[in-house]
Amino acid sequence: MLKTCDILDEKDKRLRQVSEEVVFPLTKEDHKLIDTMIQYLHDSQIDELSEKYGLRPGMGLSAIQLGVAKRYFVVVHELTGPDDEEKEFDTYVLVNPKIISNSMEQIYVTDGEGCLSVNRPVEGIVPRYARVTLEAYDMEGNKVQIRAREELSICFQHELDHLNGILFTDHIDPKNPFKNKDSMRAI
């Protein structure tokens, strides 16, 4: 089982690597890592499991955050609200993803973005597109196209940044962390 301590910390230089394109078919190791990433993200969003196993809650995880410099990431997006008894999730595995279109409108997370590799509070605005369309491949090598909006759009952009060696903190202006706040919509 993957533990929070297995995820690379922002000080680890490997997080600054640009990940390599994946060649199909995926290896057995890639399949195993992807399954492990999905399990971690799923369990981390269920309070009882997160507490039991000491997992930091997360919605997305890139292979590079586990020291594997390959262009894929996993997103486990909760579909249910906080009052729903049974949680439901959509799971995305995107291999060799790229943004093929985006909205002009920009948004930011009101409480600030977080990251499983950044173990400290970070204040500031990370400008993101409100809507993106990604082209990628699934685990079998089939081309997929996904249109995402709001929270899911932010998560995809955040994980794609990881594949390019970029952390969300890089988007925050250190001299003016709330720069251009009024030109974006908070979510």
pLDDT tens-digit profile of 116-172? 999 999 999 999 999 999 999 999 999 999 999 999 999 999 999 999 999 999 999
Provide the pLDDT for residue 85: 75
Residue with tokens 């060649």: 23
pLDDT tens-digit profile of 4-20? 889 999 999 999 999 99
Separation between Cα atoms, residue 82 and residue 27, nearest integer Å = 37
Provide the pLDDT for residue 167: 98
Q: Which of 10, 20, 29, 159 is catalytic?
A: 159
Residue with tokens 């204040």: 123
Separation between Cα atoms, residue 36 and residue 170, nearest integer Å = 28
pLDDT tens-digit profile of 24-80? 999 999 999 999 999 999 999 999 999 999 999 999 999 999 999 999 999 999 987
> What is the SS3 string spanning 28-63?
HHHHHHHHHHHHHHHHHCCHHHHHHHCCCCCCEEEH
Reduced to 3 states (helix: H, G, I; strand: E, B; else coil), residue 110 is coil
Q: Is 159 a catalytic residue?
A: yes
Residue 146: what residue type?
A: I
Separation between Cα atoms, residue 176 and residue 179, nearest integer Å = 5
Domains of the chain, CATH where assigned: 4-186 (3.90.45.10)
Distances (CA, A) of 47 to 85, 100, 115: 12, 35, 18
pLDDT(82) > 70: no
Reduced to 3 states (helix: H, G, I; strand: E, B; else coil), residue 14 is helix
Would you give the DSSP letter of residue 182?
G
| Whether 70 contacts 146, CB under 8 Å | no
